[in-house]
Homo-oligomer: A and B are copies of this chain.
Amino acid sequence: MEREALKRLLGRVKVGKVTVAQAMEQLRHGPVSELGFATLDLHRALRRGFPEVVYGAGKTVEQIGTIVGRLHDAGQTALVTRVGPEIHEALRHDFPRLEHHAAARALVLPLGRRRRGRSGIVVMSAGTSDLPVAEEAALTATVMGNEVRRVYDVGVAGLHRLMAHRDTMLAARVIVVIAGMEGALPSVVAGLVDCPVIGVPTSTGYGTGAGGWAALMAMLNSCASGVAVVNIDNGFGAGCLASLINRAHSPRATKK
């Protein structure tokens, strides 16, 4: 059960709208679900603020279907990354509400009606081939309750393309910058704004750029402060981190 849902449930118990027995039924899932091939961490949604996300690469249709079902039963949003349309095709009969996000190579089984997300996150990409990673980041942040602005294909070889989006950058609370090749975009963006920048190196490229190491090293050595980096191609990690940063406004720790 996700954090918001739990809060609502306990509120209803308090005011008598839900009986204790009903609440216990809804809370019957333990912190861990043993699936044989996996130990699903159902407690994660409470502890960390969002449910366990499924890395789809290398998992069979059956494994993915089992996990998605278990998460859904436990009242948690299911997000599956790195999967193609064939997985969606195979599972959509069992889960009619399952959404396929082709550009992000991901599946989402939402919990209910989606509310409007919290603004503040911008996702930028340097080139066209960075799109799958950028979309994975954007979708992840969206699923976690944010509204995302996208600015794509604005690499440093043509600064006028980037400068046209200066207002969007200045309005952001956190910016995710996806770049392959020489990975220079995060440095240039971070030099222009006063919010955190998350660099995501991509593995597109060839020769010394193949695999994304050049972009990774560039981002780690950014001459502009305020840049943090995640693993090569890790759009999910960047979207998740951006979401954590974007809601840093929670009541906790705001005393001064």
Residues of chain A whose beta carbon lies under 8 Å from any beta carbon of chain B: 31-32, 37-39, 41, 43-44, 47-49, 53, 57-59, 63, 116, 118-120, 126-129, 131, 152-161, 164, 171-174, 181-184, 187-188, 190-196, 198, 201, 203-234, 236-237, 240-241, 244-246, 248-250, 252-256
Contacts and interface: CB of A to CB of B under 8 A. Distances in A.
If over half of A's interface residues share one DSSP class (helix, strand or loop), that class is named, otherwise mixed; here it is loop
A237 to B, nearest CB: 6
Contact of A156 (B116, B223, B256): B223
A94 to B, nearest CB: 20
Contacts of A155: 223
Given A128-B37, A194-B48, A223-B127, A32 B218 contact: no
Given A116-B256, A156-B184, A195 B244 contact: yes
Contacts of A49: 194
A124 to B, nearest CB: 11
A205 B234 CA distance: 11
Contacts of A126: 223
Contact of A183 (B127, B157, B182, B198): B182
